[in-house]
């Protein structure tokens, strides 16, 4: 027995000694990186009443970003019914972010499939960030019947009705009021009969949108519609369409869209005689077809959102309420007569021009996906110059002229600075003329290109980074400000961007013993990494200098 106690004391003293050595060294490579599989996990998922309770298990030292959580069942997204508030922390690059440190319990609506896929993303408190993690968990408890399942909250449907009401007040929809009045006309028809004809017009228009919603829901479940709309050709077509619609709202004639901007559309529709339910419904359907291009900007965003659900009935119901919301205000105006119908005037011109401005801004945001950051900055500058010219032409004489001149000058100056900065390679719209900080010499997004770069002679530093890494930009900025790169001009800095990771990149990271960014790998002239110099998580510029000295001496 004493020998056994002595053995235990010896083991305990050895552990203490090793712990002291590790504490003295404090090198990031001296300890193994915690496994995110264990640090960020799902404790269990179980049905309780009318919901599924999912418990997230977050180990000490880890944090999960609240906004990164997503849930999927049977290939369809599941929107949480409730999520607890997290704790906030300030990040130098991304501002205030909300995280879970000690786990959380999320309540989901009932689903028919027992398998639940949970996606999350987080970081270590030391600064090391991980790629998006996926966990698959089996839901415990009795599965719900078809009648119990409510894929979406019924309250969310009314948001689409409100969106329709707001769309009804735009310059696109208000001009159709005469069409509704034409549908309700019919000799000496009584007020109840006129209301019936008006309801037929609104119902037919809403059902047309519902049919479009069913089609969008079917397409969303058949293939990734959102991804299909991200290609260069769809992005270009959507951008040009938005610009053309903006031109129409400004009163310009655009080939192919004159049907909307002129009275030709209304002239054609007026040939359909009103005064009966069938003709009123026909007018509603045709007016929907005519209006769809004009409201394409908000309608496209709504359809892309709904396509992700893959639920034809739900998307149909959403667009049905959207159509009802667009039609009811017009019906109320029509039944109210001349007292409620707004007259044309400066307010209508202002609404059209404001709508055109929003369409131009939407087109610019859409086009930025095909442009480099510097080109996007030039585009912002061009929009600012155009805005200053517009202000000069449209500034009311009765307003303060000094204030107008100051505003016009500031907008013009900002546009000029953005264009100048973009032409010089800058990309920061907040500081268009600030010197661009370039830490790395080369950037690659796949392992094959990185391997070719590492095969070239000369010492190198590999920077592992990603756009979703909160700490990466901070570390890169600190390295740049420390001038550590300029002190060793013979070293090539290469970035591996793992924002859009693939199996090859994940396998390469696993072989290297890396779980995610930020990390610095120091590679000698023969292409071999010295793991004793590796930096993971919080980057120490003093240690980086020592590593570069050692690397340059080889």
Residues 6+ apart with CB under 8 A from 269: 179, 182, 283, 286, 287, 290
pTM equals 0.45
DSSP 347-395: HHHHHHHHHHHHHHHHHHHHHGGGS-HHHHHHHHHHHHHHHHHHHHHH-
Q: Does residue 194 carry a pLDDT above 90? A: no
Of the listed ranges 17-26, 232-241, 243-252, the one predicted with least confidence: 17-26
C-alpha separations of 172 from 71, 298, 319, 354 in Å? 37, 12, 17, 12
Q: 442-553 maps to which CATH number?
A: 3.40.30.10
pLDDT of 292: 54
pLDDT of 339: 57
Average pLDDT over residues 235-256: 68
Structure-token pair, residue 16:
């203490």
Q: Does residue 167 carry a pLDDT above 80? A: no
pLDDT in tens, 257-274: 444 444 444 444 445 555
The more confidently predicted of residues 180 and 449 is 449
Structure-token pair, residue 348:
């209508």
Whole-angstrom distance, CA of residue 306 vs CA of residue 185:
36
62-65, strands of its sheet edge to edge: 87-91, 95-100, 62-65, 122-124
Asked if 101 and 65 count as a contact pair (C-beta separation under 8 A), the reply is no
Average pLDDT over residues 362-372: 75
For the chain, the structural domain boundaries read 36-140, 154-359, 442-553
The more confidently predicted of residues 419 and 539 is 419
Q: Does residue 13 carry a pLDDT above 60? A: no
Domain 36-140, CATH number (from 2.30.130.10, 2.60.40.1250, 3.40.50.1260, 3.30.390.30): 2.60.40.1250
pLDDT of 258: 46
C-alpha separations of 377 from 235, 366, 422, 443, 480 in Å? 19, 14, 5, 21, 23
- Sign of the CA dihedral 468, 471, 473, 476? negative
Mean pLDDT of all residues belonging to the chain: 73
pLDDT of 414: 92
Asked if 21 and 79 count as a contact pair (C-beta separation under 8 A), the reply is no
Of the listed ranges 66-70, 255-259, 347-351, 405-409, the one predicted with least confidence: 255-259
- Kindly provide the residue ranges of all beta strands, DSSP E only, lying in 231-292, ordered along the sequence: none
Question: Which H or E element spans position 48?
Answer: strand 40-48
Asked if 274 and 186 count as a contact pair (C-beta separation under 8 A), the reply is yes
């Amino acid at each position: 027995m004493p020998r056994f106690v002595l053995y235990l004391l010896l083991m305990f003293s050895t552990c203490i000694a090793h712990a002291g050595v590790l504490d003295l060294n404090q090198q990031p490579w001296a300890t193994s990186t915690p496994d995110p599989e264990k640090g960020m996990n799902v404790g269990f998922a179980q049905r309780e009443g009318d919901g599924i309770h999912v418990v997230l298990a977050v180990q000490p030292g880890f944090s999960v970003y609240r906004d990164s959580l997503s849930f999927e069942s049977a290939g369809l997204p599941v929107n949480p019914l409730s999520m607890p508030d997290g704790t906030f922390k300030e990040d130098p690059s991304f501002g205030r972010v909300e995280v879970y440190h000690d786990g959380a319990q999320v309540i989901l609506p009932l689903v028919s499939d027992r398998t639940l896929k949970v996606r999350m993303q987080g970081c270590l408190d030391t600064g090391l960030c991980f790629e998006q993690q996926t966990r698959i968990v089996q839901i415990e408890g009795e599965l719900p019947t078809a009648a119990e399942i409510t894929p979406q909250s019924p309250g969310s449907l009314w948001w689409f009705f409100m969106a329709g009401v707001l769309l009804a007040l735009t310059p696109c929809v208000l001009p159709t009021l005469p069409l509704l009045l034409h549908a309700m006309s019919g000799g000496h028809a009584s007020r109840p009969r006129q209301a019936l004809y008006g309801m037929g017009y609104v119902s037919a228009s809403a059902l047309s949108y519902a049919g479009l919603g069913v089609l969008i829901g079917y397409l969303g479940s058949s293939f990734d519609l959102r991804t299909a709309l991200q290609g260069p050709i769809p992005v270009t077509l959507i951008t040009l369409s938005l610009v053309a619609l903006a031109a129409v709202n400004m009163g310009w004639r655009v080939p192919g869209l004159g049907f909307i901007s002129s009275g030709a559309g209304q002239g054609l529709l007026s040939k359909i005689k009103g005064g009966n339910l069938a003709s009123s419904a026909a007018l509603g359907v045709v007016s929907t077809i005519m209006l769809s291009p004009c409201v394409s900007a908000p309608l496209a965003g709504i359809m892309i959102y709904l396509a992700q659900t893959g639920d034809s009935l739900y998307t149909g119901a959403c667009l049905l309420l959207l159509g009802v919301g667009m039609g009811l205000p017009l019906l109320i105006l029509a039944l109210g007569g001349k007292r409620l119908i707004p007259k044309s005037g400066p307010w209508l011109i202002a609404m059209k021009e404001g709508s055109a401005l929003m369409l131009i801004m939407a087109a610019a945001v859409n086009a930025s996906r095909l442009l480099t950051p510097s080109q996007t900055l030039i585009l912002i500058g061009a929009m600012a110059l155009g805005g200053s010219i517009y202000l000069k032409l449209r500034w009311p004489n009765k307003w303060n002229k000094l204030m107008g001149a100051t505003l016009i000058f500031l907008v013009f100056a900002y546009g000029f600075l953005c264009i100048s900065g973009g032409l010089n390679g800058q990309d920061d719209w907040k500081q268009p003329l600030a010197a661009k900080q370039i830490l790395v010499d080369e950037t690659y997004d796949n392992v094959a290109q990185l391997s070719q770069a590492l095969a070239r002679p000369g010492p190198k530093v590999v920077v592992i980074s990603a756009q979703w890494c909160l700490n990466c930009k901070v570390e890169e900025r600190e390295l740049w400000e420390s001038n550590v790169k300029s002190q060793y001009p013979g070293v090539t800095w290469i970035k591996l961007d793992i924002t859009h990771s693939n199996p090859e990149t994940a396998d390469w990271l696993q072989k290297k013993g890396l779980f995610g960014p930020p990390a610095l790998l120091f590679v000698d002239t023969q292409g071999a990494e010295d793991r004793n110099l590796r930096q993971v998580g919080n980057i120490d510029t003093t240690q980086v200098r020592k590593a570069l000295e050692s690397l340059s001496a080889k």
